[in-house]
Structure 1
C-alpha cells in the first residue's frame, strides 16, 4: 500500500506492507486524512531513524476486516479514527498511557491502518469524507478547551487570538451553538471575513491594541494556542476573574508575566491537551444536534502530501487541510 512516511530524516511516499487486524483490532481502508500542525514537527522528533513510520493522526474510512473479539463493528462500517490513544474516561489530565496516533504508532497517511476497535467511532452521517477525515484532533482539542476546561456558558464572551486554525474554526462554531459571543483576531483581513461568515461576532486585527479595541467588551474566556506572542495581550483583554485556557504554543513555549497583577486580578489559568473518548462522543452528539460541519480549506491527493505540508506550514489555511487517499 502507498503511505506517506518518515524515514532516515525525511518525509517520503513509500510502498508499505498492508496491515492485518490482530485480536481486538480492525483494518480501516482510509478515504481521507487530516493534516495537523503536530505532523509538521514530527520529523525533528523522529530524527534519522531508518525505520519507516507512517505519519498522521486523523482519518476516516471503511472497515475492511475485523480481528477476533471485535463485536461492535463489522466490515463495511463507515468510521472515523480517534487519535487520542488509551484515554477513555474524562479526567483532570490524560493517563500515563495516553499518546497521540502517528508516533510512535503508524498513523493515517496511508491507504490502510490497523487500529484497536476502541479507537474508532462511527462517521457522522451528515459529514462528507473530507469533513470527517480531518475532524477529531482539532475538534476534540477545541471541545475540551472550551467546555471541560473553559466552562463556556450561554451569554458569555469568548476571545480567540488567531482565527484560521482548524481548532479555532471549531471553537467559533461550538460557542455560537451554545449562545455565546465570539471575538477573534487575525493578521489577514481575508481570514477575519471568513471567521465572521462562520459565526464570529467580531474580528479584529492581530496587530491592533486589543485593550482599546475591546474596551466596550467583557471577555469571560480566552482560548489561546499562539503562546508567547499573545499570552500577556490576551491576559490584558480578559476581565478580572476571567478564565484563560492554553492548548498550544506555536510562537514560544516560555512566557514572562506579572504574578502580582495575576493574583490581584483573580485570573484562572488552565492547560488543555486533546481530550478523551467520552468528550469525543459528546462533541459528535453536539455536532449532530446542530448539524455542524467542519471547515475544510483545501484537499490534496496522498501523493501531494509534501505540498500539503508546505501549504499548512505557510499558514495559508482557514480550517482543515485534508489528504484524499481513495475515491
Structure 2
C-alpha cells in the first residue's frame, strides 16, 4: 500500500512510498482510509522536534474510513462500517490525566497517512452522519483537544465570556465553534483579518489582532475581560492573557508553540484568583462526549484545503507556513 512516511535523509523529510501491509492482530481492525488530516505534530516530526521519531514511520493521527478486516477477538459487525478513529491510545482509567503508557496514533506507531491503517478496535467510532469524509477526518485530534480544554478543564458554562487565541488552527476553530454552540460569548484573536472575519461569520462577537500593541486595551474596551481563555501558544503572550482574564477566570493551555514565558506575573495570578491549567488531547470519555456534542449541534469542521497524497509536501508546507484556516486534509 502507499503511505506518507518520515525520511529525514530527504530534503523534504517525508516521502510517499509503497510499504508492506501487516497482519491484523486479534484485537485490531484494518481501516481503509478515505481521508486523513494533518496536525502540527506531523510537521514537528518533519522538523525532528518530536520525541521517539524513527525514519519509515507512517505519519498522521486523524483519519476516517471503512473497516475492511477485523481481528479474531473483534466483532465482525464492524466490517463495512464508516468510522472515525480516536487517536488517543492508552489514556487509562483516570479522567484527570493520561497514563504513563499514553500515546497518540502516528508516532511512534504507524498512523493514518496511508491507504490502510491498523488500529485497536476500541479506537473505532461510527462516523457522525452529518459529516462527509473530509470533515470526519478533520475532527478527532483537534476536536478532542478543544473539547477537553473547554469543558473538562475550563468548565465552561452558558453566558461566560470566552477568548480563543490563534483562530485558524485546528484546535482553535473547534474551541470557537464549541463555545458558540454552548452559548458562550465568544471572541478570538488572530494575526489575519480574514480569519477574524471567518470567526465572526460563525458567531464570534469580535476578534483582535494580537500583533497590535493595543489589543489588550481594545479587548478590555469591547469585552470587558474574559472568564475563560483557551490558548495553544504560551510564550511571552502569556502576560497579555493574564491582563484580559477576569477575576476568578481560567486560562487553559493545550500547547506552547511560542515556547515558555520569559516572565511570570505571579502577583496578578494570586491577587486576581486566576486558574492556570494545562490540558492535552483527552480521555475516551471526552471523545464520546465530544462526538455527542458535535452530532447534537451538527458542528462541521472547517476544512482548509484537500490534497492528494502526491501533494503531501505542499500540504505540509502550507501547515508550516501557517496559511491554513481550519484543517488540511489529504486523500489517498
Shorter-normalised TM range = over 0.9
Aligned match for 1:33, one of 27, 31, 36: 36
Give per-residue Cα distances to partners, 1:43-78, cap 9 Å, x unaligned: 304799775110010000000110101027421111
- Give the equivalent residue in structure 2 for 1:319: 326
The Cα of 1:185 is off from its aligned counterpart by 1.0
The Cα of 1:282 is off from its aligned counterpart by 0.4
**Quick check: 1:19–1:113 contact (8 Å CA) kept in 2?**
no
For 2:166 and 2:52, the matched residues in 1 are separated by 33
- Give the equivalent residue in structure 2 for 1:211: 216
User: After the TM superposition, which residues 69-108 of structure 1 pair with which residues of structure 2 at under 5 Å, given as runs?
Assistant: 69-71=73-75, 73-87=77-91, 89=93, 91-108=95-112
Pick closer, same or farther for the CA change 1:66–1:45 going to 2, 3 Å: same
Aligned residue for 2:42, secondary structure, equals helix
- Give the equivalent residue in structure 1 for 2:243: 236
- Give the equivalent residue in structure 2 for 1:296: 303
For 2:52 and 2:62, the matched residues in 1 are separated by 24
**Quick check: 1:23–1:68 contact (8 Å CA) kept in 2?**
yes
Structure 2: gaps of 5 or more residues: none
For 1:254 and 1:46, the matched residues in 2 are separated by 20
Is 1:283 paired with 2:328? no
For 1:312 and 1:93, the matched residues in 2 are separated by 29
- Give the equivalent residue in structure 2 for 1:202: 206
Which range moves more in the overlay, 296-305 or 45-54? Answer: 45-54
- Give the equivalent residue in structure 2 for 1:22: 25
Pick closer, same or farther for the CA change 1:277–1:116 going to 2, 3 Å: same
For 2:100 and 2:209, the matched residues in 1 are separated by 40
Give per-residue Cα distances to partners, 1:255-307, cap 9 Å, x unaligned: 42121222112111000000011111101100111111111011000111111
- Give the equivalent residue in structure 2 for 1:4: 4
For 1:196 and 1:288, the matched residues in 2 are separated by 22
Please give the TM-score of this superposition, normalised by the length of structure 1: 0.95
**Quick check: 2:190–2:196 contact (8 Å CA) kept in 1?**
yes
Structure 1: gaps of 5 or more residues: none
